[in-house]
Amino acid sequence: MQRRAIFKGRLLPYLLLAPQVAVTVLFFLWPAGRALWQSVHLQDPFGLYSEFVWFENFQAVLSDPNYLGTVQVSVLFSAAVAGLSLSVALLLAALADTKIRGAGLYKSLLIWPYALAPAIAAVLFLFVFNPEIGLLGRAMNGMGLGWDYRLNGGQALLMVVLAASAKQISYNFIFFLAGLQAIPRSVLEAASIDGAGPVRRFFTITFPLLSPTTFFLLVVNVVYAFFETFGTIHALTRGGPGKSTETLIYRVYQDGVVSNDLGGSSAQSVILMVIVIALTAIQFRFIERKVHYA
């Protein structure tokens, strides 16, 4: 179905586009351009003086042994967030798709967490996981598990992964549920007559037919984990303890805003941009081949 609006004159369509274009320019293109410019300049902390330094900033970043550690944390963090939020969302969607009493209520409730701002979600997680006042934190310490994410890097990473995934699960859930409902009932019925049980039906029919949705969500989730989890990490751990939860995006903030190394921070931004572009391209190149579009 195609609907086309016909406008008289040129002005109105441009006016209607203007707000979106303005937002894109102001918050995406301009900062990206600034990052590119800054990444090849050395600036004093107050931005009063700058000098063109070719790729010295990149050299400095890539030769820093700490940077490799940050890359490792980022990869681990992103894989865990994407994997966890996709698999939990798929499980919930598959369950919500069956005929159960109150399915509509479950669906609404599962969508709610997406409306939470990252900082608020993080505070909720603090109330749960704080070793002294958190519900679960206290319980775990009470059982002698030695829970303190402020000291234990592994525990801190686990917590930010859970917090970052929680919100994304809602988002993925909506898409998976829509994808599941788009699969014709009769195809699944044909499979059950052909002798396939529920588990077999899921893996041989449902999952392959869901692949366009899964692929789209994989791209979105990886981009989310790399780029959009700053707020969660900042509110929960500030990259600590040590650098155990410092991802690439958090380090950009750390070096640029806290340490005032604008050139180095911008170089990292550019590297991050390249990584995400490359990841998306790889996903399209290799994984999309296995995707079946009906």
Please give the residue ranges that form the binding site for other proteins (CB under 8 A): 184, 186-187, 189-197, 200, 204-205, 208-209, 211, 292, 294
Select 122 or 218, whichever has its Cβ closest to other proteins.
218
Q: Amino acid letter at 207?
A: F
Select 94 or 116, whichever has its Cβ closest to other proteins.
94
Minimum distance, C-beta of residue 82 to other proteins, in the bound complex (Å): 23
Minimum distance, C-beta of residue 173 to other proteins, in the bound complex (Å): 23
Select 63 or 98, whichever has its Cβ closest to other proteins.
98
Euclidean distance between CA atoms 288 and 291, whole angstroms: 5
Minimum distance, C-beta of residue 193 to other proteins, in the bound complex (Å): 5
Minimum distance, C-beta of residue 100 to other proteins, in the bound complex (Å): 16
Contact by Cβ (8 Å): 165, 81 = yes
Minimum distance, C-beta of residue 97 to other proteins, in the bound complex (Å): 17
Euclidean distance between CA atoms 146 and 5, whole angstroms: 63
Select 114 or 202, whichever has its Cβ closest to other proteins.
202
Select 69 or 212, whichever has its Cβ closest to other proteins.
212
For residues 90-125, one letter each, b for 16 or more C-beta atoms within 10 angstroms of the residue's C-beta and e for the rest, the string is bebbbebbeeeeeeeeebeebeebbeeebeebbeeb
Minimum distance, C-beta of residue 205 to other proteins, in the bound complex (Å): 6
Minimum distance, C-beta of residue 197 to other proteins, in the bound complex (Å): 8
Euclidean distance between CA atoms 78 and 101, whole angstroms: 36
How does strand 41-43 pair with strand 50-52?
Answer: antiparallel
Select 104 or 195, whichever has its Cβ closest to other proteins.
195
Select 24 or 192, whichever has its Cβ closest to other proteins.
192
